[in-house]
Amino acid sequence: MQESRKAMAMLAASMLAYRIKDGKLPISCRFRIDEWIGGVPYNWYHTAGFTEEVYTFTAGIDNIHAGLIGISEDKLIIAFRGTDGDDTLEGSILDWINNFLAIQVPFPYGPGNVHEGFLSAADSLKEDMLRKTEELYGKLAGKYETAEIIVTGHSKGGAVANIMAAILSEIHNGKYRDKIAVYTFGAPRTGDELFADKYGSLNYFRYEAFLDIVCHLPFTLQETKLLKRLGPIQELFAECLKLKPYKAVGREICIYNSRDNFGKYPPDTGNSSGETLNSFCAVEQVVRYGGFQVFMGCHEKDYYLLDKSIQFH
């Protein structure tokens, strides 16, 4: 398993991306306390380990899509902001509308189909991101033979990171393909089985909190079938059931929060979607028996518990 310290640095970069407002990071990001974890103060900027200037880029109406890029010793970190809408009501509404554009469209840079809204977000940021990546990675590669590019994000930011990494791996005849690693936290699915299978060549670590339902949207084929066990409650997901099946990518690393665990299921590593279903089963239990209060914080703060994670292959 990857060191939790490295994963924490990528989570910090993903959280830092939420601080982008009006196209830039405020100066306070360098010294403010962003979160207390286990009684220890964390500053996302320094936890991410940036050693040189961090650049930002935004796109879309009201800058609803945003990301940052910067060097951390021998690594180039690219992080994308989750659903935020540049912290405005109008932007937030537009951002959520983009999230719900879950119809699959052909992936222009390789095989398979992907989420229309997330592809649109990635495409809008692509030009600025690629230009800065070439500039900074060229500088980094001149100093380190093992220089790598790490693409990361939380929630929607993780979905955009997923697609952007796939784009980055295909340009310039695969120039960066073996240099890329991807870390996502609480990210929804982004593509179909063909897209996911092709993506298997990338170094991808997918962190999912045990009760985070966002990680199970849109549904895989197997989850669609399992929903039938919920009876009338499946009507809550009626629109999702109309979508073509999605498939998760990367190596799943499940984070357990022992304080609010609603029953821990044994690992299931033999299902057709290539993932464990223990967290989906727990979500089913919560929905069936009305324990919705256990969802509080699972999409955000549970990801600070990186030392309580289990990696499945």
Average pLDDT in the chain: 82
Rounded CA separation 69/153 (Å): 12
pLDDT at 118: 92
In the chain, where the domains are located: 4-311
Question: For 4-311, CATH number?
Answer: 3.40.50.1820
Pair type for strands 55-59 and 65-72: antiparallel
d(CA 201, CA 168): 13
Identify which of 47, 118, 56 has the alpha carbon closest to the alpha carbon of residue 82: 118
Ramachandran region of residue 221, left (φ > 0), alpha (ψ -120 to 50) or beta?
A: alpha
Q: How far, in Å, CA of 109 to CA of 240, rounded?
A: 26
In sequence order, which residues have a C-beta less than 8 Å from that of residue 228 and are 6 or more positions away? 234
Q: Note the residue count of the chain.
A: 313
Minimal CA–CA distance to 181: which of 202, 155, 161, 201?
A: 202
Q: Which token pair is 60?
A: 């879309």
Tens digit of pLDDT per residue, the chain (313 long)? 446 678 999 999 999 999 998 888 999 999 999 999 888 999 999 999 999 999 999 988 878 899 999 999 999 999 999 887 556 555 455 555 666 567 899 999 989 999 999 999 999 999 999 999 999 999 998 888 889 999 999 999 999 999 999 999 988 878 888 899 999 999 999 999 999 988 765 688 999 887 788 888 888 888 777 777 666 666 666 666 677 888 888 888 888 776 555 555 555 555 555 566 666 666 666 666 666 666 667 888 888 888 766 665 4
The answer to whether 241 and 234 are in contact (CB under 8 A) is: yes
Task: Please list, in sequence order, all residues whose beta carbon lies within 8 angstroms of the beta carbon of residue 67, skipping any fewer than 6 positions away.
Answer: 17, 20, 56, 57, 58, 78, 79, 80, 81, 125, 129, 153, 157, 160
Whole-number Å distance between alpha carbons of 106 and 10: 29
pLDDT digits (tens, 9 = 90+) for 253-304: 888 776 555 555 555 555 555 566 666 666 666 666 666 666 667 888 888 8
